[in-house]
Amino acid sequence: METKPSSTSSRNSKKHQNATKAPKDEKSKSSTNSSSKSTSRQTATSHDCIDKKMSFKLLLVGGLCCGLLNMFHTSSMFENDRRFSHLSDLEREMTFRTEMGFYYWHYKILVESDTMLHGLTTLVQNNITEYPSVINSLHRFNVMPEVVIAALYRTFRSFTRWAQIDLEQCYKVSRGARLAAVWSCDGLGVPANFYVQCAWTMAGLTAALIFLSGALLSNSYIGGAVAALCFFFNHGEATRVMWTPPLRETFSFPFSLLINLLVTQTLRKPRAHYIQALCIAVSTYCYLVTWQFAQYTLLVTIMLVYFLHAVEMIRPLPMLLVLMGSLFGFANCLVSMFANKMLMTSHLAGCLLAIFLMYVVLENIFNWIPSPMNKSVQIVFIFLSTIAAKMELSNFLGMEEDSHVYNILRSKFSNYSDFHTKLYTCSSEFDFMPRSTALSLCNSYLMPLAFIVVGAVGSNFIATCFNNLKDSFKNKTDVLPNLWRAIDPGIVYNIAMLVVYCILASLIMRLKLFMTPQLCIIASLVASPKYFKMLQRKDLYYLTLAILLSVMTIPGYKNLMEQRATQGEYLNTDLEELLHFVQTETAPNSVFAGSMPTMANLMLSTGRPIVNHPHYETKEVRRRTKIVYSVFSRRPAETVYESLLKLKVNYLVLDYSQCYQKIKPGCGMVDLWDIEEPQNKNKPALCPKLYNESPAPFHRVFVNDGYAVLQVPSKFVQIPLPKTHKI
């Protein structure tokens, strides 16, 4: 079964050679039709790169096996790390720190509401997340995954109740002599279990799509197996879903892979039919609606496709299919997110407008410029008009929501820093990719293999282009259409995406989740013998491939075993004491402020209103957070108190780690304020004083080893102090 794709690939190579010779015969027959016929031959040749004998059923079985294997792998690692099945409901919520807890809160609201409609109304008129403001969560945040999962859960529970199926098993879990025993329920009937099971399903879809992408790109089942093996061997560098299931990338990244797969197939074999554009539109919608970062990688995709069209590597049809699919997906996302302004004023919106304007109005005008200068002018125009359109849209709607993105990029290439930028870049996820990541990918042989493949494919393409160029000069035909004859645009697109992903990952470590899977997909081309002509004999080629995979298996197996060896049990008594105090000793309408991670957990587990949260993407939230974080500055207590009163805060929560610890040099909270307010450098920091004492006008009402709670009394109403409490 595995030898068929390779033999077909060799037959395709002969077709390519014949197609290269064909223009000479056509020239002798009719010089006037040589250009148009060579263009049609170019299309046919690029189409031949699709192996028509690959079985859809075998591809489906291979993808399903990879998906199920990754579901088991990620879910078991999560369970081994936290013993999630043995935790109480409160402890399960506590494991979802920072953004995870923030997003899970929306799911909890929808699941616990009397009806789905009532839950949606609560989210549309949300005054808990940014008190006292009323916001529309469906408009502001990418919480569509929580909406879909909640709808599935409610439907599932209704069915199990109707069928009288019991899917919960409850038991009491002892937590040692110091802590009280807790009740724990396990099974799909538990909302948290159902939620994480959906996350594991998306993880399975990721592995399945990596297999399919590798198989289709290399036209070989072996290529799909190579991509899947590389993914599992480098699992820790490719995903973090097993540690952070509720993050947006968990639900969004599979659609990124799907878009790249669909675009690759569209570039290779476009059809004048709505189905390809519809598939791209649906994938684009799912990608954009689930993650705010999706717009940037989709922007790169559209620009690359237009670049291939501009240099005449592809015909207008595949470019239009990708453009129209992306446009329809983008429009539907705007509708379902209530015209999200950040998306409306994005670079993606500007790019779609620019390309549409170029193709419909300006392309024929630019064609009057002599080639190849006109191609360069078109590409530069698209780039500049995208920026101009984005700026005009932002000015028209008065939006400054994504200003922090420019500042983060600016800090990467200069000494620029400000408070908000430092909050991002001091986090390891937004720092430069560490040397350890590159070493890990090299030690597993993934990066060297991918670079060898790129070199082999690149040298093959260069030689082909050189021969095509000689033929064009000899036959006096147009250079550009004939230059790309026998060049696979799908492979060019995927290599270009790899280059972009490597640049992004080197600047922002978090984005290695794009780079590593793409390295695996590119590595699948090692299963395409036509790019390794030095190994002409089939038996020698497969022997070399077997040796290569065997060598990769040694460090890959070691990486897997290290992951599987992770053992732990979640316990955070300090946070549990804090949440118990808030739940029992404060009023339900009390308003809280504090560090972003703690506020997410506090809102999730107690339902108390908060004034700041971890979704740090809007100007208003950044303003609020900076006011709250002034507690970590060197300002007087009275000044901070006045600022918190304006936000209508009743209680301030301090984290011991935020007050005293530094992630790395220059990244302590007080260090950030020293950059912002250098005139206060010689003054004492406020946070340690608040944590250890009770300076007026604040009143400390709770303290343990991890947290302290300060009451922010009103100037006009005397609020009785609640009792200090520990469990």
CATH architecture, domain defined by 573-711: 3-Layer(aba) Sandwich (3.40)
Q: Provide the pLDDT for residue 47.
A: 38
Quick check: 481 and 174 in contact, CB under 8 A? no
Whole-number pLDDT of residue 196: 97
Give backbone dihedrals phi and psi of 115, rounded to 5 degrees, phi first. Answer: -135, 165
Which of 39-53, 426-440, 459-473, 506-520 has the lowest average pLDDT?
39-53
Q: Is the pLDDT of residue 631 over 60?
A: yes
* Number of Cβ within a 10 Å radius of residue 477: 20
Cα gap 384→162, rounded to integer Å: 59
Which of 687, 606, 604, 615 shows the shortest CA–CA distance to 653?
687
- The band of 20, judged by pLDDT with boundaries at 50, 70 and 90, is very low
d(CA 429, CA 426): 9
Banded pLDDT at 350 (limits 50, 70, 90): very high
Tell me the C-alpha distance between 238 and 560, whole Å: 13
For the CA atoms of 667, 669, 671, 676, the dihedral, rounded to the nearest 10 degrees, stands at 120
> Which of 711, 680, 682 is CA-nearest to residue 697?
711
Do 180 and 727 meet the contact criterion of CB atoms below 8 Å apart?
yes
Give, as one character, the DSSP assignment of residue 231. H
The residue to which tokens 């919480």 are assigned: 143
**Residue 441 has which token pair?**
């990918």
User: pLDDT tier at 724 (50, 70, 90 boundaries)?
Assistant: low
Mean pLDDT of 61-68: 97
Alpha helices in 30-88 (DSSP H): 34-48, 56-82
Angle at 132 (CA atoms; ends 129, 136), nearest 5 degrees: 50
Spacing of C-alpha 295 from chain mean position: 10
User: Which DSSP string corresponds to 146-201?
Assistant: HHHHHHHHHHHHHHHHHTT----EEEEE---SSS--EEEEESTTSHHHHHHHHHHH
Burial class from Cβ neighbours inside 10 Å (0-12, 13-18, 19+) for residue 685 reads: buried
Record the tokens describing residue 225, joined without a space.
């197996």
| pLDDT reading at 503 higher than 50 | yes
| Residue the block writes with tokens 């082999």 | 456
- Average of per-residue pLDDT across 612-641: 92
Beta strand pairing status for 169-173 and 182-186? antiparallel
State phi, psi for 432 to the nearest 5 degrees. Answer: -60, 150
Average pLDDT (220-227) is 95
Do 223 and 524 contact (CB within 8 A), yes or no? Answer: yes
Confidence check: pLDDT of 260 > 70: yes
Selection from 675, 611, 717 nearest residue 133 by Cα: 611
Q: What is the pLDDT of residue 723?
A: 52
Rounded to an integer, what distance in angstroms lies between the CA atom of residue 458 and that of residue 449?
14
C-alpha of 336 from chain center: 20
The predicted pLDDT at position 181 comes to 78
Rounded Cα distance between 21 and 41, Å, is 11
Residue type at 366 in one-letter notation: F
**Do the beta carbons of residue 553 and residue 579 sit within 8 Å?**
no
Q: Report d(CA 612, CA 601) in Å as an integer.
A: 12
Report the alpha-carbon angle 30-31-36, nearest 5.
95
Checking if the pLDDT of 7 tops 70, the result is no
H or E segment and range at residue 333: helix 316-336
What is the average pLDDT across 328-333? 96
pLDDT of residue 11 exceeding 80, the answer is no
Of 347, 354, 352, nearest in space to 379 by CA:
354
Peptide bond into 132 cis (omega under 30): yes
pLDDT digits (tens, 9 = 90+) for 392-417: 888 888 777 777 888 888 888 888 88
C-alpha distance from residue 52 to each of 8, 16, 208, 491 (Å): 9, 16, 20, 17
Q: At residue 185, what are phi and psi to the nearest 5 degrees?
A: -115, 135
For 26-50, write each residue's pLDDT tens digit. 333 344 444 443 444 343 333 333 4
327 and 277 Cβ atoms separated by less than 8 Å: no
> What mean pLDDT is reported for the chain?
87
Window from 186-190, 257-261, 657-661 with minimum mean pLDDT: 657-661
Q: What is the pLDDT of residue 383?
A: 92
Residues forming a β-bridge with 171:
184
Q: How confident is the model at residue 722 (pLDDT cuts 50, 70, 90)?
A: low
- Residue 543 corresponds to which amino acid? L
Amino acid at the residue 465: C
| The predicted structure's pLDDT at residue 29 | 39
**Taking the model in full, what pTM does it have?**
0.88
Higher pLDDT, 407 or 251: 251
CA-nearest of 92, 105, 269 to 192 is 92
- What is the average per-residue pLDDT within 522-540? 85
Give domain limits for the chain: 3-27+36-59+197-345+399-563, 62-196, 346-398, 573-711
Backbone angle region of 244, left / alpha / beta, with phi > 0 → left and psi within -120 to 50 → alpha? beta
Confidence of residue 120 (pLDDT cuts 50, 70, 90): very high
> Taking residues 450-468, what's their average pLDDT?
92
* Encoded tokens for 333: 């996302």
Per-residue confidence at 720, pLDDT binned at 50, 70, 90?
Answer: low
